[in-house]
Structure 1
Amino acid sequence: MNDFGYVDDWVPGIRWDAKYATWDNFTGKPVDGYLANRIVGTRSLCAALEQAREKAASLGFGLLLWDGYRPQRAVACFLRWAEQPEDGRTKMRHYPNIDRTEMVEHGYVAAKSGHSRGSAVDLTLYHLATGELAPMGGRHDLMDPISHHGARGITPTEARNREHLRSIMEDCGFDRYDREWWHYTLRNEPHPDDYFDFPVV
């Protein structure tokens, strides 16, 4: 897997918090395949992220990554979790207006994830001057229409920050996912038909 590496090794200055290696995600516990709090991606992804980091810095922002490469076993873990009885532990924080069984139907969880190809990222912006996260009108993995691009009900500042992120990422070779303001996939990804399952260690 010479084409894969830790993003922070190849993109100096980038921040990360690998949510699925922690208890702070919609399943409420670390996810199968995430054995370390690191973000992994392809060389092509990292090269594009370095461009995005520079462009963001010119606007006074840094990049904070929440996820990159995702083992296929993690996707399987999500699907199993979505079929389990509701316990209410993460519902209000992550999917307040749908049932967990509806996550796939609404496009928030996929049986085959672009993350498993190694060239998708979940990320946000933070202010370089203060280190504070830029307000985006909703947290990572909030499975709700408020997370869609062009969503109504967010403030002008939040809409402007989402637009900054979209512009940065699209200018640097990424395509957005319309249902999640934080999710971007490399346009010319090197492994468009491969779904990997090695763990993040």
Structure 2
Amino acid sequence: MEKGFVFLDEVIPGIRWDAKYATWDNFTGKPVDGYDVNRIVATEELANALKEVQKEANQMGYGLLVWDAYRPQRAVDNFIRWAAEPEDGRRKEIHYPNIKREELLSQGYVAAKSSHSRGSAIDLTLYSLKTNEMLQMGTCFDFMDVKSHHTCETVSKEEKENRQLLCDLMTRHGFVLYENEWWHYNLKEEPYPETYFDFPLSGSSSK
């Protein structure tokens, strides 16, 4: 693994994760290039900030569930190729029911260069430590629709409050929200703002 990057599970005790792009449960319908293991990788700086988020969340009775952080450029390229393919309908109703696959780029849900590839972006949610149930946020992860926007007014009061709770936790510890996705945050002081990495996620933590 590249120097300056870590596995979140090795540096944040108790962190939970489900690396969707290493599985069949994502908007492409199959594992994505570069995700050789179901683990989460990020810069050391993001991990340190997230550790503080989890500490405060735990005190409030919540835990963090992470879906993605560092994303190899080859995975982003995989998304671009997928977006250009004919619609097969396998994941449309789950992830992008109201727009066409080829519109995902122009609508800002898929990009040729992703902040994730710089290593300091993260996709996550909250769950209850008491019940182990995820908080209701109004949509699933990677639901590419206006309903996922922070400004959406059609979600319930509870869902809006849960989104705000996550937002408050993240922004208090150095993260910036992405307006179109309630689950996505960027580290404000990211260490590699101009570098898009392409090393794969593998089982080894050594470079």
Report the Cα offset of residue 134 of structure 1.
0.4
Distance between the aligned counterparts of 2:128 and 2:151, measured in 1?
Answer: 22
Distance between the aligned counterparts of 2:83 and 2:193, measured in 1?
Answer: 26
Alignment of 1:1-201 (within 5 A): 1-201=2-202
Moved over 3 A (4+): none
Report the Cα offset of residue 153 of structure 1.
1.2
1:55-83: CA deviations, max 9, x gaps?
11122110000001000000000000000
Q: Which amino acid aligns with 2:111?
A: A
What is the aligned partner in structure 1 of residue 205 from structure 2? Answer: none
1:16-38: CA deviations, max 9, x gaps?
00000000000000000000000
Report the Cα offset of residue 198 of structure 1.
0.3
Report the Cα offset of residue 2 of structure 1.
2.1
Secondary structure of the residue aligned to 1:183 is: strand
Report the Cα offset of residue 152 of structure 1.
1.5
Secondary structure of the residue aligned to 1:54 is: helix
Distance between the aligned counterparts of 1:191 and 1:9, measured in 2?
Answer: 21
Consecutive unaligned residues in structure 1, runs of 5 or more: none
Distance between the aligned counterparts of 2:59 and 2:163, measured in 1?
Answer: 16
1:153-189: CA deviations, max 9, x gaps?
1111111100000000000100000000000000000
Q: Which amino acid aligns with 2:193?
A: P
Distance between the aligned counterparts of 2:62 and 2:108, measured in 1?
Answer: 29
TM-score by length of 2: 0.96
Q: Which amino acid aligns with 1:107?
A: G
Number of aligned pairs? 201
Consecutive unaligned residues in structure 2, runs of 5 or more: 203-207
Share of identical aligned residues, percent? 57
Distance between the aligned counterparts of 1:150 and 1:160, measured in 2?
Answer: 12
1:108-167: CA deviations, max 9, x gaps?
001100000000000000001111000000000000000000211111111110000000
Distance between the aligned counterparts of 1:33 and 1:173, measured in 2?
Answer: 28
Distance between the aligned counterparts of 1:26 and 1:55, measured in 2?
Answer: 31
TM-score by length of 1: 0.99
* Farther off after superposition, 149-158 or 69-78: 149-158
Q: What is the RMSD of the two structures over their aligned residues, measured on CA atoms?
A: 0.5
Distance between the aligned counterparts of 1:14 and 1:41, measured in 2?
Answer: 13
Secondary structure of the residue aligned to 2:63 is: strand
Distance between the aligned counterparts of 2:162 and 2:136, measured in 1?
Answer: 7
Distance between the aligned counterparts of 2:14 and 2:111, measured in 1?
Answer: 31
Distance between the aligned counterparts of 1:29 and 1:137, measured in 2?
Answer: 24
Q: Which amino acid aligns with 2:40?
A: I
